[in-house]
Structure 1
Amino acid sequence: MEFPTIVSPQYCSPEHVKLSVAKHLVDFNHGNFVITDSNGTTLFKLDHKKVMLRELTVLRDGGDCPVVSIHKKAISLHDTYQVYRGESHQELFTVKDKHMRDGNEETYEVQLEGAPEPQFEVKGDFVRRNYQIIFDGTTIVAEVAKKHFSITSFLTGKNKYGVTINPNVDQAFIAAVVTVMEAIHNEGKEKDGKGDKSSSDSD
């Protein structure tokens, strides 16, 4: 099954790719959110000049060029996030809460701009960072798994988890979806008054 290129073919690899997501436990809203490859090279990071969920958030590459920008739709029956190319007004896709819950498992839909219906589902346990991004109902294109805290992560105050992306899948698209999921989880903790030190972050 051919996977659509959503952001750019430059972010596609013919091999499996393993990325690491790291965020400071306290400072996620200030942009200390970085996605690196297996060599530790920064691929994507949040624009530290923006405030997550309160205005446009820009996901930049390692050279500080804007890749996508993310905006939460203010008036919507569902939690809806709109993702644009770079810092333009060209919408690429939306992420929307499907309002399906089975215990700790939730489901979100991803609909590409111009498509008649959602092509992707994001399903799993977002609190524990264990979820899958599924294309066309059956094909898993990326999996997110929480990594256990290490002494290094404890000392640096960083929380890390991994993302495994299948061959020929747009890594920038996956990074944008992961960023939205992180934003949703972070906002949920703020609403609950738990902050980023919530015990829900532990396995």
Structure 2
Amino acid sequence: MPKNNGTEWEVGDPTISVVGEQFCNPYPMELIVKRKVHNFSRDHYEVFDLSGNLLLQIEGQAWGFNRKRVMRDPAGFTILTMRQKGITLKNKWEVYGGDSKDREDMLFVARQTQAMTLKTSLDVFLPDNLKRAVCDFRASGGYSNISFKVFKSDSLIAGVTHKFSWGSFCKGKYNFRVRVNPEVDYAFIVSLLVIVDDNENLC
């Protein structure tokens, strides 16, 4: 994997569509992702554009083994399902289109790069590259690191900025501001953000 210090994905670069082309726009997108824990048992994320329009919503268990998170559109239609594969030293999630568990509907697998690190880093594999163990994307960061970035090879395709507060973090309620580069699948980026953020939810 090249060093993550290269160029940014720009207008005119090939489309990166993992979840679906309907989530790719030919211009940079700014998203607001809001997270809240309900009754200390369920996470709820909402994704808005800068005009306040709801684009995506994600719900799932905040604790437990073999957790599941479901991404839906504003009408409640299931877009994808994220399933954690047990509790291991290297956190692993499998992501499928809709409610499916079938291999032919797998979108990607995200696996923690190293077992014991202060900064979360994920290797992301598309189904065709799983057997070759060649990662297609890398995501790193998290809330306590005050950063989140996604790279394809050495090109930055998305990043996050936010105002850090331990108080809001431990209450389970905080916001991310996500910049998704042109022609990049924002549903895919948000799903990676949720997975990386999962490793940071210690309170």
1:22 aligned partner: 34
1:107 to 121, 128, 139: 121
2:144 partner letter: V
Q: 1:123 to 1:51 in 2, by over 3 A?
A: closer
Whether 2:126 is the aligned partner of 1:143: answer: no
Larger deviation, residues 161-170 vs 53-62: 53-62
Q: Does 1:61 align with 2:73?
A: yes
**Partner Cα separation in structure 2 for residue 127 and residue 165 of structure 1:** 21
- Answer yes or no: is 1:171 the counterpart of 2:181: no
CA apart distance, 1:13? 0.3
More helix by share: 1
Q: Which residue of 1 aligns with 2:5?
A: none
**For each residue in 1:20-68, what CA deviation from the matched residue of structure 2 results, as whole angstroms up to 9, or x when unmatched?**
1112266574243211111111111123xx4245432211111111111
Query: What are the superposed Cα offsets for residues 101-143 of structure 1, whole Å, 9 maximum, x if unpaired?
Result: 77x434211111122311111123542341210001x110000
Aligned-residue Cα RMSD (Å) equals 2.7
Q: Aligned residue for 2:85?
A: 73
Give the % identical residues: 23
Secondary structure of 2:200 counterpart: helix
TM-score, length-normalised on structure 1? Answer: 0.77
TM-score by length of structure 2 reads 0.77
Distance in 1 between residues matched to 2:106 and 2:25, nearest whole Å:
24
Kindly provide the amino acid, as one letter, of the partner of residue 163 in structure 1.
V
Which segment is superposed worse, 116-125 or 7-16?
116-125
State how far apart, in whole Å, the 2-side matches of 1:31 and 1:25 are: 5
Segments of 5+ residues of structure 1 without an aligned counterpart are 190-194, 196-203
Q: Which residue of 2 aligns with 1:92?
A: 107
What SS is found at the alignment partner of 1:185? Answer: coil
Moved more, 69-78 or 160-169: 69-78
Which structure is richer in relative contact order (CA contacts within 8 A, separation 6 or more)? 2
